[in-house]
Amino acid sequence: MIIFPNAKINIGLNVINRRPDGYHDLETVFYPIKINDALEIIKADKLSFESTGLEIPGRVEDNLCIKGYHLLKKDFDLPPVKIHLHKHIPIGAGLGGGSADAAFFIRLVDQTFNLGLTDDRMIAYARQLGSDCAFFIKNEPVFAFDRGDEFEPIKLNLSNYKIVLVMPPVHVSTSEAYSGVKPALVKHSLMELIYRPVVEWKNYIKNDFEDSVFKNHPEIRGIKAALYEAGAIYASMSGSGASVFGIFDKTPDMEVLRKENEVFVDLRF
């Protein structure tokens, strides 16, 4: 059986304070977009993982799909499976691709072996694998808070707009992004600001990671500026970067940006 994990973008991101456990309280809006990996599992004689497409860094045993299998195996008599992941969602892009793979893996195992898991139970499993993994179980726009793993559903529909995402040949690590951020309380929560007209977002909604990431990687700043020059009504880096998205009234000409970057156009759900 095969399934197609999708990416997400962060619309705004406020880092509010550092927690005693070393994590940060933050608030952001997760919005699903149509850039997809492909994930397949089949019964096998032993557990294995292979990937094609983009190269996935790190050890196989640290892959979230493998971790997801072992997590479910504790509670269910699962047979060994062969996992094949075709990686298309850019890595180190702030798009949640690894988290999506983990969440969709849980859904795929549930469907394949008829585990009868509810959304709430799948969310509980996904939450153990990463802060934003749980979002991809329901895969609907949410206001995310605390560590980014508590969600409040929101009514946000961007289907009348064109979403363009640009991925430069740059990797921004989460630790690098956080090292340049100064946590601060906000006067107005994103939960309120997200309901302002999209044409006003650029005046109110920001990503706290941009200042430090743009300083270290001016080419990412240049992409955001280029999206506005191309007619975006809102543009922002997603998460901790390095990808930048723009929201447009109509499909723009992105040929200039295509010369050095990967460009994805019209990613609406």
* Residue 27 Cα to chain centre, angstroms: 14
Paired with 51 in beta bridges are 85
Beta carbons of 115 and 109 less than 8 angstroms apart? yes
* Token pair listed for 186: 């906000």
* Residue 105 Cα to chain centre, angstroms: 16
Q: Which residue shows structure tokens 């790190």?
A: 58
Beta carbons of 70 and 60 less than 8 angstroms apart? no
For residue 200, how many C-alpha atoms fall within 13 Å in the half-sphere facing its CB? Answer: 7
* Token pair listed for 227: 């999206």
* Token pair listed for 41: 């599992």
Beta carbons of 179 and 212 less than 8 angstroms apart? yes
Question: CB count, 10 Å around CB of 71?
Answer: 19
Measure Cα distances from 11 to 54, 71, 167, 225 in Å: 25, 31, 16, 17
Q: Which residues are catalytic?
A: 8, 132
